[in-house]
Structure 1
Amino acid sequence: MHKSMKGALVGATIVAFALTGCAAGGTPSEAPAAGEDLVVDDQLLASAEVLAAAQEEEPIVFYTGGSEVSEQQAADAFTEATGLQVEIVRLAPNKLNERILAEQAAGQLAADVIRISGEDLIAGIADAGTFTPVELTDDIAGGLIPEATYDDGLYYSSFDRVYSFGYNNQIVEEADAPQDWADLLDPRWAGQVGIVQVGAGGSTAALTRFQFDRLGEDYLREFAANSPRIFDSSAALTDALARGEITVGPMPIATAYSATLDGAPITIATPEEGAAAYPFYLGATESAGSPNSASIFVNWLLSTQGQTLAAELGDYPVIEQAPNPTIGEIELPAADSDFVFRSTLEESLDNLQADSELWSEIFGYTG
């Protein structure tokens, strides 16, 4: 199905659409007048009373393990639609988890809203009593797929991100570029390839599960034989790839695409063997200092406008009849296609420790 997408260049030259100054979908939005309900794209996000209370609160503090560029675009679009401000605290998921749990234990959690990947991370955060249920409006709740709701609405999946690989197109000619996962085993990439360590978060756990399940243990052993440079986060790997410090490496599509929006010379592959999908979970905190704003933000992120923006940045939405993700001019395969490899939360947790231990043994990684 996706052979025609192989080698699709997603670089600065094709990024003709800019989200700055307009909401997702290309239609500018205006904050409602005083006394009006908050309605965006014909969806009710908040009553006039909730909006008025939110307008008296401090800016939303948003703790996220997502990419800095894509989360800033989401925050900007939200502010344009609602008039409410967002302050972003961005860390790699494993580091963000440490901060959340430490602040929660001390009774000093600063976050109003959290978005993070990793089944073990979200379970631990929820078990620590971090979240409070958000009341979704009927318009928003009615559009979600059933799989997006966890613990009766204590938290949600906000989108599925996909882990593929990319290469530096200023170093690698298109004719010589890797197209499939098997191509990364070529000895010509020895010393030029990177990979993110397995414990970085839900993204690397999902990638490792995909590689063991669909590609096999021998694949990772051959990959390790190419002496990859091991990174602590996908952001760090993407930066190194953009600078030419490495030539090729696995990375989340949305992270790589966000980098291309800033001019990074990265081409994103859509390999024949497929790619690993993993949820980014979303919840409002029990200690939120701006609870009304937090509720509106969660509703907006799960709205048609918020989910359309996610799709425009390469992520798979969690609403019914959602558009397929796009990266520039390229549309990714449908969510139910063989391209998308998913594990359930239970499958991910069941395999997490064994996968991590075997990955560490294969790569000689000691942390």
Structure 2
Amino acid sequence: MKATLVGSSVLALALALAGCGGAGPAGAATTLVAGGEVIADAALYSAAKEEGSLVFYTGGSEQSEKAVTEAFTKATGIEVEIVRLAPNKLTERILAEVGAKKLGADVIRTSGEDIIISLAKAGTFQKTAFPDTVRTAVGDAIKEDGLYFSGFDRVYSFAYNNAVVPKDQAPKNWADLLDAKWQGKLSIVQVGAGGSTAALTRFQLDKIGEEYLKKFAANKPRIFDSSAGQTDALARGEVAVATMPVATGVGAIADGAPLTIAVPEEGAVGYPFYVGVGAQAPSPNAAKVFAAWLLSKDAQRIAVQQGDYPVRKDVGTPKVGDAELPAAGSGWLYRTDADTMLAHVEEDAKRWREIFGYTG
């Protein structure tokens, strides 16, 4: 695995794809075309460019979102301001703003079935129409008649600091993390941080087994409140190994962190990141263009390069460095449906806190 090549490959792809639109930033009113597909008609695209910018609230990693938004701006001339928070904190902010009728987000991306449903019920989103070609390409990724959609499945695995851990001692599989040599050197994000940690806990309890989680906890991992803080600690060598989303690791590597991402034989968990256009969007036209563009071939290819499983079938398989992850249907990727996640999210969180003795 050539981890040091990940960041440059993602950036190069994003910049290359950014030039594929039907009109440049200074172009006359025309349709927006990406990857040979119409993403926005002339009227919508013109109105979006008139607005000129949008605000994007996201629970995704900052580096991975920058790769996406910079490519979008390069292709369209529409600037994107990113507001990034852990999904649980982001949810609190959104619900407070919706309640006060002062939602500042044009577009929102977050993980967690319980979170997206709570936001939808609170009136956070407006229904969005998508071009027929896009709607056909992404199938059932579009939910509730366009109220929100799944943008990709992110993968949760683990990574280690390769400046601290010698290659011949590096963990490759989940079982390796139970070795006593890792006691006090592991880290994990607390279960309530968002859909990512809820999905990881479901995978650990259902696929690997509760005994695994108990033994992992017995190795006294450091518990973080968010992936961002954990990733920084891993990059600094404060911990040697950390469970983390693959895309977060890819972003950290692009920023120079000495990390290697594991592709464990026991499998890894995939969980969706959902996207919706804000019901009170200050720039509604730019928001609709951005939302549709996120489902384009260009945007979905960037997701693949970041290690995410796309919602389209025509953009390839996700990669970690130069290595492709197993195909979505291979059985390697553990994925539950929304109903299963909702049925288990509260009891899983309670069990996790009991196992780790976590009261935060």
Q: What band does the TM-score fall into relative to the shorter chain?
A: over 0.9
Aligned to 2:299: 306
Larger proportion of helix: 2
Deviation sequence 1:80-110 (CA, Å, 0-9, x none): 1111110000000000000000000000000
Contact 1:192/1:246, CA 8 A, preserved across alignment: yes
Q: Name the amino acid aligned to 2:310.
A: P
Corresponding residue number in structure 2 for 1:356: 349
Give, in angstroms, the shift of residue 17 of structure 1.
2.6
Tell me what 2:11 maps to.
Answer: 19
Alignment match, 2:273: 280
Q: Give the equivalent residue in structure 2 for 1:47.
A: 41
1:241-267 Cα distance to aligned partner (Å, 9 max, x none): 000000001100000111000110010
TM-aligned CA distance change 1:295 to 1:13, over 3 Å: closer
Q: Give the alignment partner of residue 87 of structure 1, picking from 81, 95, 111.
A: 81
- Cα 1:364/1:233, change in 2 over 3 Å: same
What is the CA distance between 1:322 and its match in structure 2?
Answer: 3.0
Q: CA deviation at 1:15?
A: 4.6
Structure 1 residue aligned with 2:71: 77
Q: Specify the alignment match of 1:294 in structure 2.
A: 287
List structure 1 runs of 4+ shifted beyond 3 angstroms. 13-16, 20-30
Letter in 1 for 2:70: D
Q: Secondary structure at the match of 1:142?
A: helix
Cα distance in 2 for partners of 1:9, 1:52 equals 43
Scaled by the length of structure 1, the TM-score of the pair is 0.94
Counterpart position of 1:5: none
Counterpart mapping for 1:318-333 below 5 A: 318-333=311-326
- Matched position secondary structure for 1:280: strand
- Name the counterpart of 1:195: 188
2:228 counterpart of 1:235: yes
**1:336, distance to aligned residue in structure 2 (A):** 1.1
1:24/1:308 contact within 8 Å kept: no
| RMSD of aligned alpha carbons | 1.5
Q: What is the number of residues matched between the two proteins?
A: 358
1:158-307 counterparts in 2 under 5 A? 158-307=151-300
Which residue of 2 is the match for residue 336 of structure 1?
329
**Equivalent in the alignment of 2:116:** 122
| Aligned amino acid, residue 225 of structure 1 | A
Q: How does 1:124-143 map to 2 (within 5 A)?
A: 124-143=118-137
Equivalent residue of 2:216, what SS?
helix
SS in 1 for 2:90: helix
- Relative to structure 1, is the Cα distance of residues 61 and 364 closer, same or farther in structure 2, using a 3 angstrom cutoff? same
Match in the other structure for 2:96? 102
TM-score (norm 2): 0.96
SS state of the match for residue 228, structure 2? helix
**Cα distance in 1, alignment partners of residues 94 and 143 from structure 2:** 19
2: distance between equivalents of 1:360 and 1:21? Answer: 41
Once the two structures are TM-superposed, the CA of residue 172 in structure 1 deviates from its matched residue by: 0.6
Q: What are structure 2's unaligned runs of at least 5 residues?
A: none
Q: CA deviation at 1:320?
A: 2.6
Aligned CA distance change for structure 1 residues 25 and 332 (closer, same or farther; 3 Å): farther
State the secondary structure of the residue aligned to 2:329: coil
C-alpha deviation, 1:18, in angstroms: 5.2
- Asked whether the 8 Å contact 1:44–1:137 carries over to 2, the reply is yes
Tell me, in whole angstroms, the C-alpha distance in 1 between the residues paired with 2:207 and 2:16.
34
> SS in structure 2 opposite 1:165?
strand
- Aligned identity (percent) is 53
Task: In structure 2, give the amino acid aligned to 1:79.
Answer: T
Deviation at 1:321, TM superposition (A): 2.9
Asked if 2 retains the 8 angstrom alpha-carbon contact of 1:21 and 1:28, the reply is no
CA positional deviation for 1:36: 1.4
1:17 aligned counterpart, secondary structure: helix
Gaps of 5+ in 1: 1-7
- Asked if the contact 1:24/1:305 (under 8 Å) is kept, the reply is no
Equivalent position amino acid for 1:270 in 2: V
Q: Distance in 2 between matches of 1:16 and 1:151?
A: 37
Identify if the C-alpha distance between structure 1 residues 24 and 134 changes in structure 2 by more than 3 Å, giving closer, same or farther. farther
